[in-house]
């Protein structure tokens, strides 16, 4: 088995690595430089792990699956999706891009993870030990999922018609939101032009120009730059300077979650 993940700020990477370690599987980011088709060809089972955005699959993962669709044909598929609260059919949403649709999916699971939307007042941002309980539960769930996949257990979370219906209530709106946000990155006067946002953007949407940071209309709304900017000078979709940034999952928190 091999697992591919896209992770904006570290939550999906955490799940992908915990699952892969327990399952004895290779684990790679879709952002890495690799011969993905060759890697897929060597395995019978391919896993995908990604965060859910409005009950939809983020653009980097969508593009990865579509690009390697031919290699993925007739593979057993495992889907692990991370979410803040409840997505309905977050894992099922990937089926729209798989060559075999849902027919090849042998396992799908949802994982509740810490909030990384740093400037949305409805949900508080927590870091370090504050996330311990949630990460302990997520770790146990990832390890259980790995065990069930290895034993041949079939579980397809989010595939029930009611889950799909609930998901549709969110996913109907997300494509419009994503389209609007694609070219809506804003940089405040606090920017020091350190270039960090351009270096870490998964879509290569941001570049350093003569007049500062410029955008290319490809923002995936992953919030990586919003949480990483040392001056909190960058926003996307929600244009409110974050009072507190999500710092991801530290090594200390990883130790606490074991």
Domain 175-236 in CATH 3.30.70.20? The answer is: yes
Kindly report, as residue ranges, where domains of CATH 3.30.70.20 are found in the chain: 175-236
Q: Is pLDDT of 187 > 70?
A: yes
What number of CA atoms fall less than 13 Å from residue 96's CA on the CB side?
Answer: 15
Cα dist from 60 to 145, 155, 197, 253, whole Å: 24, 25, 17, 27
Over the range 148-182, which residues count as b (16 or more CB within 10 Å of their CB) and which as e? Answer: ebeeeeeebbbbeeebbebbeebbeebeebbeebb
**pLDDT at res. 228:** 96
Number of other residues whose CB lies within 10 A of the CB of residue 96 = 13
**pLDDT at res. 254:** 66
Q: What percent of the chain has pLDDT over 70?
A: 97
Q: Is pLDDT of 72 > 90?
A: yes
State the pLDDT confidence band at 210, using cuts at 50, 70 and 90: confident
Higher pLDDT, 235 or 86: 235
**pLDDT at res. 211:** 84
What DSSP assignment string belongs to 151-164? TT--EETT-SHHHH
**pLDDT at res. 84:** 92
Q: Is pLDDT of 97 > 80?
A: yes
**pLDDT at res. 122:** 86
**pLDDT at res. 192:** 93
Kindly report, as residue ranges, where domains of CATH 3.40.50.360 are found in the chain: 2-174+251-257
Instruction: Find out whether 44 and 76 touch, Cβ atoms under 8 Å.
Output: yes
Average pLDDT of every residue of the chain:
94
Query: Long-range contact list for 103-107, CB < 8 A, 24+ apart?
Result: 104/74, 104/75, 104/76, 104/77, 105/77, 105/78, 105/79, 105/156, 105/159, 106/45, 106/76, 106/77, 106/78, 106/149, 106/154, 107/78, 107/79, 107/145, 107/148, 107/149, 107/153, 107/154, 107/155, 107/156
Q: Is pLDDT of 13 > 80?
A: yes
CATH fold of 2-174+251-257 reads Rossmann fold (3.40.50)
**pLDDT at res. 253:** 65
Q: Is pLDDT of 250 > 90?
A: no
Q: What percent of the chain has pLDDT over 90?
A: 86
- The residue written with tokens 């996913």 in the block is 171
């Amino acid at each position: 088995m091999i697992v591919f993940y896209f992770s904006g700020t570290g939550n999906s990477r955490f799940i992908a690595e915990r699952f892969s370690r327990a399952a004895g599987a290779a684990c790679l980011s879709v952002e890495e430089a690799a011969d993905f088709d060759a890697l897929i060809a060597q395995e019978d089972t391919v896993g995908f792990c990604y965060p859910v955005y409005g009950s939809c699959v983020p653009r980097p993962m969508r593009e990865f699956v579509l690009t390697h669709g031919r290699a993925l044909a007739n593979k057993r598929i495992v889907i692990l999706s991370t979410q803040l609260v409840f997505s309905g059919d977050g894992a099922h949403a990937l089926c729209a891009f798989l060559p075999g649709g849902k027919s090849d999916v042998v396992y799908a699971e949802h994982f509740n993870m810490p909030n990384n939307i740093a400037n949305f007042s409805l949900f508080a941002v927590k870091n370090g030990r504050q996330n311990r309980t949630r990460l302990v539960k997520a770790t146990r769930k990832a390890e259980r999922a790995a065990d069930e996949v290895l034993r041949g257990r079939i579980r397809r979370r989010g595939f029930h018609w009611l889950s799909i219906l609930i998901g549709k209530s969110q996913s109907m709106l997300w494509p419009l939101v994503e389209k609007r946000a694609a070219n809506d990155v804003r940089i405040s006067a606090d920017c020091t032009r350190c270039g960090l946002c351009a270096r870490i953007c998964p879509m290569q949407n941001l570049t350093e120009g003569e007049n500062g940071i410029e955008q290319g209309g490809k923002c995936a709304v992953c919030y990586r730059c919003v949480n990483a900017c040392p001056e909190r000078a960058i926003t996307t979709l929600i244009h409110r300077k974050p009072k507190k940034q999500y710092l991801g999952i530290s090594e200390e928190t990883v130790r606490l979650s074991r």
